Amino acid sequence: MLPKEYRLSAKEFPLLYKKGFKSKGKYGMLICLAKNTSTPSFGYVVSKKIGNSVKRHRMTRLLRAISMEFVKEKELNSLNFQYIAFEFCDDFNILRKEFEKQLNHCLGNIKNEKNSSVFN
């Protein structure tokens, strides 16, 4: 289970979708945006298009586990993340590789934005 300190509040979902950096993959889209707190926040959107409740919950559990691994591995402080699932994936390793690729893409965009704002 994702600890409460790492959960994205319902009010932050629309703002994150409008203003965040988006990275799309086969199984879903990762959106990230910088914020002013010390811990990262994660939110997941898994619609009924994915499948029945068992499949949706399985996908959410996998995404939570992957997110917590990356919180421990990388410095994700002061970032919000939202993952919108498009297609069901039951394989942890495949989903982890795609999530890591999307995460690196988003982190690169955020670094580029911070560097360019220094010179403007």
pLDDT of residue 3: 80
Mean pLDDT of 15-34: 92
In this predicted structure, the answer to whether residue 119 has a pLDDT above a threshold of 60 is: no
CB burial readout 85-114, b (16+ within 10 A) else e = beebbeeeeebbebbbebbebbbeebeeee
CATH numbers and ranges of domains, the chain: 4-119 (3.30.230.10)
pLDDT in tens, 80-114: 999 999 999 999 999 999 999 999 998 888 777 76
26 to 23, 29, 84, 97, 100: CA distances (angstroms): 10, 8, 11, 11, 13
